[in-house]
Amino acid sequence: MRFRVTLAGALAAGLAAAAPAGALNPQHAGLQVALRAQGLYGGPIDAIVGPRTLAAIRSFQKSHGLQVTGLADVRTRRALGPLGTPLFGSRQLAHGMLGWDVAVLQFLLNRHGVNVPVNGYMDGPTVRGLRRYQGQLRLAADGIAGPATFTALGLQTHVPVRAAPAVTLRRYVVEPGDSLTAIAVRVGTTVPTLAQLNELDPDRPLLIGTKLRFPAAVAAPTAVSATNAATVRESLGSWSAHYGIDPRLARALAWMESGFNNNEVSSVGAQGVMQLLPSTWDYVETVLIGHAVQHDADGNVEVGLAYLKHLLGVFDGDEELALAAWYQGERSVKAQGPLTVSKVFVADVLALRQRM
């Protein structure tokens, strides 16, 4: 109990007062995921409270009749619902759990080089990633985050952690007319990264002649700005009504697949909110609905839910088989039934639906 209070209290300190611009507090990753689920925040999950995060907090507080402070106080966190509590370090985390602390765990795993989704849900990929991390640190690789894992991730004491890989930095000299945003775009990085590397306040003027550092390995910018989660939620509601699908199931599937992020692209080429393969998109356009669909967030949701409706029809409304076919393929499920990995995916989506 002593450890739990100390860790949660230490990491929560930045939530009770205005955090300095550019300051990284892992607890803020939980805040950003909770705000994203409300459709108010479309920025990166970087645990840095910047203008977009502050604006989202204030908007949420205003719409819920709370005092508009821009601070994630206890009342604000409770009003955020299941993703607003509890703080990281206050409970043991295991498969199937949902919450603020799960999002923080996922954020910290990514910071330590373990790629897992950051969606606030302790799903299969998160548990597998946690086991890899625990194995690397010679902890009990049980996929359950307890005091030893929290210590390694949060305090970085008692248990040795891997050294962060060396990053070669390049320099840029600020010229007349430059802004931090424009420079970030030019060198292919982000404002928070530049601000953190150079100890800058993004809200203050950038002085001409300032020498900035940025990662040399960063590629030229190709990413599109983050999708507005509010628009995604509206699309999910509209198209689920159109196709007669439970909107909670639609939201749970979309959140599981991408965290409502239309910029998400998987290692196998699945794209967008619903993580659709090009072949699936073509099939829906040519066979199921008979017309082309615009390749934006709303179109991705339309195509995804049209395909889910098809699978529900094929399997006589059986949601478990339809979701297994979504994950594994229709023919494969018909031929051999759901695979073990598909069953885990299905269980995760159906459990998440109860909280969406």
Burial class (CB in 10 A: 0-12, 13-18, 19+), 336: exposed
d(CA 212, CA 190): 13
Q: What is the 3-state secondary structure (H, E, C) of the chain?
A: CHHHHHHHHHHHHHHCCCCCCCCECCHHHHHHHHHHHCCCCCCCCCCECCHHHHHHHHHHHHHCCCCCCCCCCHHHHHHCHHHHCCCCCCCCECCCCECHHHHHHHHHHHHCCCCCCCCCECCHHHHHHHHHHHHHCCCCCCCCECHHHHHHHHHCCCCCCCCCCCCCEEEEECCCCCCHHHHHHHHCCCHHHHHHHHCCCCCCCCCCCCEEEEECCCCCCCCCCCCCHHHHHHHHHHHHHHHCCCHHHHHHHHHHHHCCCCCCECCCCCECCCCECHHHHHHHHHHHHCCCCCCCHHHHHHHHHHHHHHHHHHCCCCHHHHHHHHHHCHHHHHHHCCCHHHHHHHHHHHHHHCCC
Amino acid identity of residue 187, one-letter, is: V
Measured torsion, CA atoms of residues 133, 139, 145, 151, in degrees rounded to the nearest 10: -90
d(CA 13, CA 130): 25
Catalytically active residues are 257
d(CA 294, CA 279): 15
